[in-house]
Chains A and B, each alone.
Chain A
Amino acid sequence: MKRSLLPWLVVATVLLLLFPMAAEKFYLQLVTKIMILAIFALSLDLLVGYTGLVSLGHAAYFGIAAYTYALASQAADPANVWLTLPLALAASAAAALLVGALVLRTSGVYFIMVTLAFAQMAYYFFHDTRIAGGSDGIYINTRPDAHLPGLDLADDLHFYYFVLALLAIVFALLAVVLRSPFGRALQGIKANEHRMRALGYATLHYKLAAFVLAGTIAGLAGYLAAAKEGFVNPEMMAWHQSGAVLMMLILGGMGTLFGAVLGAFSYVLLQEWFSTLTKHWQLLMGGFIVAAVLLLPHGLIGLHRLRIKSRAPRPEGDGD
């Protein structure tokens, strides 16, 4: 599976590298936003697609890092990336550790509900207190500064490549982790947690580590989103944000890293397109997702799999 996707990965990377040459500012910013959401979707894929943990509160970790960054950069000068980014990631990781330690004792639909409940708590915390502007949110005056020669994150083009580099790093990191013994254990847990325990795996520890890693990567996406927009508000961690990223995964195909990225691109582009057609674009989107789930149970990435199958029929593995 992995090897046959490699050419597509190369094509996608080259296209993303070259894209700014052809694009106007609006599209440059749009693709930047999509790449940030792709990082977010990748982090959720680690949970849903590879560990079998369906979280409906993943936006909490996205939002917590965004708020941490916003609160840490209220001075007039640009914030230092190398100070604020670790701080924001640590905040998301700590929140994920705390929440994970509690919610991972539940499973199935209870897990879904409890992850949602914690995210709603985070939402209302920022919504109802004056810490960071309440429901209005707060502005961040400047983009952060990475203090690297030749890199000016205030420039949209530079910011685009910065996000692209981080997307590539996250993709590579997850690809490595998922092939490692740790990653294989996660996939075993998704397939049959009971059997993993019988084999001697302390599955709770593995799930907690995955939950924290996913929360941290979601935090990276949240940091970048806040840096890009120069603005944070509680909607960043609302339940429909958690739902949207889950739909990206479903659309693209969970359990494959490429599918998560594909899902982010197709979701946002469809959203853009549908919203030019009607202001009830969410109806169209809903219909599209339903159709996609019915026709492509493995998501858009499944198209690729179908193609391979029709070329050379062979017993299908789990598709990692």
Chain B
Amino acid sequence: MTEPVLATTTLGRRFGGLVAVDDVSLSLAPRTVHAVIGPNGAGKSTLVNLLSGDLRPSTGTIHLGALDITHWPSHRIAQHGVARSFQHTNVFAAFSAFENCRLAAQSRHKSFGRWVKPAERYGDWNAAADAALKIVGLASRGGIPAAALSHGERRSLEIAMALATQPSVLLLDEPLAGMGPEESAHIVALLKRLAADHAILLVEHDMDAVFALADRLTVMVNGRILASGAPDAIRANADVQRAYLGTEAVSTL
């Protein structure tokens, strides 16, 4: 068994009286797509926010390799190669698509002390930004302000920004939501390729995509893990069928 890249033990987060994530122990293996599914409000986004450092855990621990990152701020976690995308598109609306990715690429270098040479003269960063745009299919859209992109394109930009930071771990919160079928197929193929050298945690409602991609599947309900295992085992799991997938959904699996 390979060492997990990212692992949580008894991770929990409460909002007042509501326990949004409850006793979640989960590990993300290298070079795998680990899908997290569950009904609305199950706590999937909260889990991603805990892993990315956007939210502080109430209980439990998070390890990145051998590092205990439980209380790290989000920028430090990102610096260690964990990139995320947001369920609700979160880009620099006024900046060009290219500048969005350029800033993402820049984040991997010490830019704090670089006050003189113009940013656009850092060729490596430009190349990383261009590569990220190209890989998600936005190569020709780099000059357009993010606000002027279509909704699906902005979703792709969200992924491009994560990739431009050259991460080893990707936390993707519903990357396909709001994409057209073509864009969606493109991203599914991309994620399949990325899984060769990334660990990917994928929160997604699109079951076709989930079963096409996932090496491992975790089902969350009411903040807790209901079941976790190989996709086929989950598909056959009676609890999952009752609690989440529903008879109607099962028939389509």
Interface residues of A (CB under 8 A from B): 176-177, 179-185, 188, 191-192, 194-203, 205-206, 209, 315-318
Give every chain B residue within 8 A of A185 (Cβ-Cβ): 103, 106, 111-112
Instruction: Decide yes or no whether B93 CB sits under 8 A from chain A.
Output: yes
Q: Which residue on B lies nearest to A173, using beta carbons?
A: B115
Q: Which residue on B lies nearest to A213, using beta carbons?
A: B115
Asked whether, in the complex, the Cβ of B73 is within 8 Å of the Cβ of A197, the reply is yes
Asked whether, in the complex, the Cβ of B92 is within 8 Å of the Cβ of A195, the reply is yes
Asked whether, in the complex, the Cβ of B118 is within 8 Å of the Cβ of A200, the reply is no
Give every chain B residue within 8 A of A205 (Cβ-Cβ): 112
Asked whether, in the complex, the Cβ of A179 is within 8 Å of the Cβ of B119, the reply is yes
Given contacts A185-B111, A200-B75, 20 further A-B contacts (CB under 8 A): A176-B116, A176-B118, A177-B116, A179-B120, A181-B119, A181-B122, A182-B113, A183-B115, A191-B93, A191-B94, A192-B91, A192-B92, A196-B75, A197-B73, A197-B74, A198-B86, A199-B161, A315-B145, A315-B148, A316-B145
Report if A200-B90 is in contact (Cβ < 8 Å); known contacts: A180-B116, A180-B117.
Answer: no
Give chain B interface residues in 87-141, CB to chain A under 8 Å. Answer: 90-96, 99, 102-104, 106-109, 111-120, 122
Minimum C-beta distance from A9 to chain B (A):
18
Asked whether, in the complex, the Cβ of A197 is within 8 Å of the Cβ of B75, the reply is yes
Interface residues of B (CB under 8 A from A): 52, 54, 73-76, 78-79, 84, 86, 90-96, 99, 102-104, 106-109, 111-120, 122, 144-145, 148, 161, 165
Contact of A181 among B86, B95, B96, B114 (CB under 8 A): B114
Minimum C-beta distance from B117 to chain A (A):
6
Q: Which residue on A lies nearest to B85, using beta carbons?
A: A198
Asked whether, in the complex, the Cβ of B107 is within 8 Å of the Cβ of A199, the reply is yes
In the complex the two chains form, what is the Cα distance from A159 to B225 in whole Å?
A: 73
Q: Which residue on B lies nearest to A181, using beta carbons?
A: B111
Asked whether, in the complex, the Cβ of B92 is within 8 Å of the Cβ of A191, the reply is yes
Q: Which residue on A lies nearest to B144, using beta carbons?
A: A315
In the complex the two chains form, what is the Cα distance from A206 to B165 in whole Å?
A: 19
Minimum C-beta distance from A183 to chain B (A):
7
In the complex the two chains form, what is the Cα distance from A185 to B92 in whole Å?
A: 12
Give every chain A residue within 8 A of B122 (Cβ-Cβ): 181
Give every chain A residue within 8 A of B106 (Cβ-Cβ): 181, 184-185
Report if A180-B161 is in contact (Cβ < 8 Å); known contacts: A200-B107, A200-B108.
Answer: no
Asked whether, in the complex, the Cβ of A317 is within 8 Å of the Cβ of B104, the reply is no
A-B interface, 3 closest residue pairs, ranked by CB to CB distance from nearest: A200-B78, A181-B111, A318-B94
Q: Which of B73, B84, B92, B117 has the most CB of A within 10 A?
A: B92
In the complex the two chains form, what is the Cα distance from A180 to B114 in whole Å?
A: 6
